[in-house]
Chains A and B, each alone.
Chain A
Amino acid sequence: GAVVSQHPSWVICKSGTSVKIECRSLDFQATTMFWYRQFPKQSLMLMATSNEGSKATYEQGVEKDKFLINHASLTLSTLTVTSAHPEDSSFYICSARRGLAGYTFGSGTRLTVV
Chain B
Amino acid sequence: DQQVKQNSPSLSVQEGRISILNCDYTNSMFDYFLWYKKYPAEGPTFLISISSIKDKNEDGRFTVFLNKSAKHLSLHIVPSQPGDSAVYFCAASAQGGADGLTFGKGTHLIIQP
How far apart sit A101 and B32, CA to CA, in the bound complex (Å)? Answer: 8
Q: Decide yes or no whether A110 CB sits under 8 A from chain B.
A: yes
Interface of A is mostly: strand
Q: Are B101 and A34 in contact, with the CB atoms below 8 A?
A: yes
Contact across chains for B106 and A43 when beta carbons are under 8 A apart: yes
CB distance from A80 to the nearest CB of B (A): 19
What count of chain B residues pass the 8 Å CB interface test? 26
A34 partner residues in chain B, CB cutoff 8 A: 100-101
Chain A binder among B13-21, B38-46, B63-71, B73-81: B38-46
Pair A45/B103 contact, Cβ less than 8 Å: yes
Let me know if B89 and A43 touch, CB within 8 A: yes
Asked whether any CB of chain A lies closer than 8 Å to the CB of B96, the reply is: yes
Q: State which of B4, B49, B103 has its C-beta within 8 Å of the C-beta of A101.
A: B49
In chain A, positions 69-102 with a C-beta closer than 8 Å to chain B are 91, 93, 95, 97, 100-102
Q: Which of A95, A97, A106, A108 contacts B41 (CB 8 A)?
A: A108
- Cα-based distance from A36 to B100 in the complex (angstroms): 9
Asked whether A25 is an interface residue with its Cβ less than 8 Å from the other chain, the reply is no
B96 touches A106 (CB 8 A): no
Q: How far is the CA of A107 from the CA of B45 in the complex (A)?
A: 9
CA distance A59 to B2 in the complex (A): 15
Q: How far apart sit A110 and B32, CA to CA, in the bound complex (Å)? A: 29
- Residue of B at shortest CB range from A106? B43
Q: Let me know if A67 is at the binding interface, CB within 8 A.
A: no
Are B46 and A107 in touch, CB under 8 angstroms?
A: no
The verdict on A107 contacting B43 (CB below 8 Å), with A43-B89, A101-B93 known, is yes
Given A101-B32, A101-B49, A103-B34, also A44-B44 (CB < 8 A): yes
Q: Could you list which residues of chain A lie within 8 angstroms of chain B, going by C-beta atoms?
A: 4, 6, 9, 34, 36, 41-46, 49, 59, 91, 93, 95, 97, 100-108, 110
Can you list 10 contacts pairing A with B, beta carbon distance less than 8 Å? A9-B41, A34-B101, A43-B105, A44-B44, A93-B44, A100-B98, A101-B49, A103-B97, A105-B45, A108-B43
Which 9 pairs of residues, A with B, have the shortest CB-CB distance?
A101-B97, A105-B43, A46-B100, A34-B100, A44-B103, A43-B103, A43-B105, A107-B43, A108-B43
